[in-house]
Amino acid sequence: MAAPEIVHELPRRLRLRWPPLRDRRSDPLYVQALLENIPGVTQVRVNRAAATLVLQHDGAPATRAAILARFDPLPGEAFRCFEPPQPAINPLNLAFLGLSIVSLRLLPPTLQGTISLLIGLPTLLAGADGLLNRGVKVEVLDAGAVGISLLRRDYFTANMIVLLLNVGEYLRQSSEDQTTGLLRTLLRPQVEQVWLEREGIEVRTPLAQVRTGDLLLCGPGELVPLDGTICRGDALLNQSSITGEALPVHRQAGDSVPSGALVTEGRIVIRVEAVGSDTGLARINRFLEQALRQRSRTQQRSDELADRLVPVTLALGGGIFLLTGDLRRAAAALTVDYSCAIKLATPIAVKTAMYRAAQQGVLVKGAQAFDQLARVDTLVFDKTGTLTQGELFITDIVPLNHLDENGLLALTAAAEEHYAHPVAKAVLRAARDRGLTLPATSQVDFIVAHGVSAHVDGQQVLVGSHHFVAEDEGIDCGAAAEPAAAFAHQGKNLLYVSRAGRLEGLIALRDRIRPEAAGILTRLKQNGIRRIVVLTGDQESTARALLQALPQIDALYWELQPEDKAGIVQQLRDQGHYTAFIGDGVNDAPALVTADVGISLPCGADLAKDAAQALLLQEDLACLATALDAARRTGKTIQDCFYATIGFNSLFLLLALTGCIRPLTAALLHNLNTVGILGYCATRGLSASDPAARPTSPKDNPHDH
């Protein structure tokens, strides 16, 4: 394949000529996404007709080299475009067209006719192509209206029809481009550079260059970017985005590690088993195809209705000519068609509303997803990270010896001070909030997946699970049995603290419910959501605690596997519910795909974002209510436009058929009506949205209120 040719270059700008862009199979959107995901590249513009690309980047030599290397080889997805993109409409061309129409009367008649023919030629050719290949469709009526107007030398009418069609297409393209830009920004890879071990030396390498079998190093705070197996070391991994578990899990040599897990403690060497860069880029391409190429069900129905009305309009025009012999009446009738507003109103309303929703924190991937969102009556939530914050907080401190609460907390925080575990972060946060001074600590020893051993003021302090403190270290924890049982029943995580061989106390922790959750669930039910269901992999006691805090929940399931979640969503659909599933982990992907609409949170795993049809861009459930409001308001807008189109155009058509208005007047009324309807669609779309217990087995019936 031909390498790109550098046409022009500035320190931070590169213009390339690449002939394969002219290949009909090439996918410019995929190529653009591919290049924009190179670290250091900020913007890419593709001109398919000229076979050129213009790239803005950070000016680093490594970035320039990566750009040129990206073409060799180029993934096969770059040449799997089955639907050629529509040519972009330049606003300057629209302005020039409008100016030409206004100034046309100042020119000699012959020149007026020549210019009008050139302006209308693309529409005439599109109508001829449609008639020959697809039958009597909207394009035929557009061409017929333009053609008869040209034959009658009614150049203003002909040119206005062409202008309106182009303005509508420009508005649609503009809104799609805005949504696509947000999508590309959101889906940039979370990891761009990784550390590999090669011949005993650690080498920093771009993620795209990692191959199967490479040894990948991951330490505390780092995200595991690729699937693999641990060959050395052990670590605690936060897999909440994958399994939904709030607490990290211990993994050691021989264990498999999924991409998306976060190393909270320890250091591991992973043998890479699956390289995900190409897969990720393919997902980005599918995202772009969804956002730009899918038509909603409502839009499809609108287009079908517009096509069915074409023969009606043509028959009325032809019939009045046969009855009266008045070509003027026939031309007037043909000029007043229903198709312009019906065909353009729906995509403009949906796309502008999608853009506005994205500005307010919700990115909906395609018109079809936006259309489906308006029909949702049942919301299914994954618990961890959606209704809860996904972060542990201390709820109870129980001293059992001579310390008070602050003393026990300070002792625990001193032992945990250098620990990166989520439990340690919760303890230190609570100590800081109380303004406690921590005693001196030495000889700290982290026991992975068990706890901490440290010397505080010269005495050994143990902090960890019951298994670590009682069973491994032999500390008598009988005094904590009663409060521990109560806390476990409430779904809380327990931390045992001992000093010098004696149990000092017990600390309970729990993931907090999002502060906005209760209010948003109430608002959702007030706005038409009939049923709220929560699914979780947590134990029964933890799940039931959520049910007590959020009485708006209608059904609760616990101890679920990913396939169980998808099965429950399918059951709800089979019962006639139109469902939306809200989740953020890899484990949620099956349910996200099964639901009528899948919704992912911004911190969600890449696979969850891929599976979802809508993405919340902010860590706020209010965005969910905003999305549903916007979708339903858009449906109302489309309905208003449909009735206005049918009503006004029927009136104009009646006036034209009876000879009460001339063709020019009919065209003006029709065009003004169309512009008004499209303007209403755009204005409404861009306007701000109005604020306004599971049984013992996942297969059993849910706990219903």
Return d(Cα 301, Cα 493) in angstroms, integer.
53
Of the candidates 382, 554, 588, 610, the residue annotated as catalytic is: 382
382 is catalytic: yes
| Cα–Cα–Cα angle for 121, 122, 127, rounded to 5 degrees | 95
* Tokens found for residue 629: 């409001």
With CA atoms as reference, report the closest residue to 165 among 192, 146, 193.
146
* CA separation for the pair 13, 291 (Å, rounded): 28
Residue pair 392/510 in contact (Cβ under 8 Å)? The answer is yes
CB 56 within 8 A of CB 43: yes
- Residues 63 and 79: their CA atoms lie apart, in Å, by 24
Spatial distance between the Cα atoms of 452 and 417, rounded to a whole number of angstroms: 10
Contacts of 568 (CB under 8 A, 6+ apart): 380, 533, 535, 557, 560, 591, 698, 702
Helix, coil or strand: residue 451: strand
* H helices present in 8-47, as ranges: 28-36
| 312: number of Cβ within 10 Å | 13
Spatial distance between the Cα atoms of 321 and 301, rounded to a whole number of angstroms:
31
Residue type, 105: R
Contacts by residues 518-521 (CB-CB < 8 Å, ≥ 24 positions apart): 518/549, 518/550, 518/552, 520/621, 520/622, 520/624, 520/625, 521/550, 521/552, 521/553
> How would you classify the pairing of strands 597-600 and 579-583?
parallel
Annotated catalytic residues are 382
